[in-house]
Structure 1
């Protein structure tokens, strides 16, 4: 009898696993709760994805909050404006960063009060306030770092 109960519980847990998957609506809710209106994040997510897919340095540069210090190959590089970003694009958007952006699905985004995370932390987006009241904001890339530069957190 005990084996039957254990088997039923295990089967029930396995059946529940797909229900644990995050939906797009849940991501929207998390963004709304932690960061504000989700619509600008959708716009940024789609535009950044397309710009990276097209290797459009200027297109990606539009979505960066400047100045930004990026971490690539264990080295910090401060980028002061879009023109410098475009010049350094090949250095900044490494293979792992490009892959993180292109393979990231909206439904699999990690969201918290620090922003919206792509991949394993290679890229983060967040709202940049237009004024002191932060009644309006622009969604921008606030972090770019290659996987090799990310220190795993101890549990």
Structure 2
């Protein structure tokens, strides 16, 4: 089952109340969520579609991701804005722009130890140890139509990045939230 179909199925099954979900609990739960294969490896290779078909497929995929985000997490436009800004900042190696998209305190594996990053300055200082070339490559290559969406947020690749809504203080029902990067880590499939 594709990540997109899994996310859509979860959206239907969970019937969430349009508020941001919890952040990924740990790398272990992230790895479990990302262990779903992207495609059936026993299926024969598909023939390349005509260009018009591929554009239509991407639009259908984008709509499915939008719908899953709307159902599970909240306003997809807010998520899409952060996703695009994040990919652009990583591609340009704009450490300050990436740091501005992070939810603090932020936990990262630095030199093999789980480390708490308290603010943007600390993130920028450790950027190269957090956003490794392998992780940056996954972030840059991620297609919106292929994002996996579940109750833990929006997942890039095999769990290298998670983006989710963070409730603002004083918003008991979480109707006021910010969309932030909540995890950057090595992916579940290595």
By the TM > 0.5 criterion, same fold?
Answer: yes
- Partner of residue 118 from structure 1, selected from 140, 156, 169: 156
Paired position in structure 2 for 1:102:
140
Aligned to 1:142: 182
Deviation at 1:55, TM superposition (A): 0.5
Name which structure has the greater RCO, CA cutoff 8 Å, separation 6+: 2
Closer/same/farther in 2, CA of residues 143 and 135 from structure 1, 3 Å limit: same
Matched, 1:47 2:47: no
Instruction: Please tell me the root mean square deviation across aligned C-alpha atoms, in Å.
Output: 2.3
> Is residue 133 of structure 2 the alignment partner of residue 133 of structure 1?
no
Task: Provide the residue aligned with 1:10 in structure 2.
Answer: none
Aligned length, in residue pairs: 136
Bigger radius of gyration: 1
Give the C-alpha shift of residue 135 in structure 1: 1.1
1:70 equivalent to 2:130? Answer: no
Gaps of 5+ in 1: 1-13
The alignment partner of 2:74 has SS state of: coil
Cα contact 1:72–1:146 (8 A) shared by 2: no
Alpha-carbon spacing, 1:118–1:133, altered in 2? closer, same or farther (3 Å): same
TM-score w.r.t. structure 1 length?
A: 0.79
Structure 2 counterpart SS, 1:86: helix
Mapped contact 2:160–2:186 kept (Cα < 8 A): yes
**Partner of residue 70 from structure 2, selected from 21, 27, 32:** 32
Asked whether the 8 Å contact 1:125–1:143 carries over to 2, the reply is yes
Shift of 1:73: 5.7
How far, CA to CA, are the matches of 2:150 and 2:86 in structure 1?
20
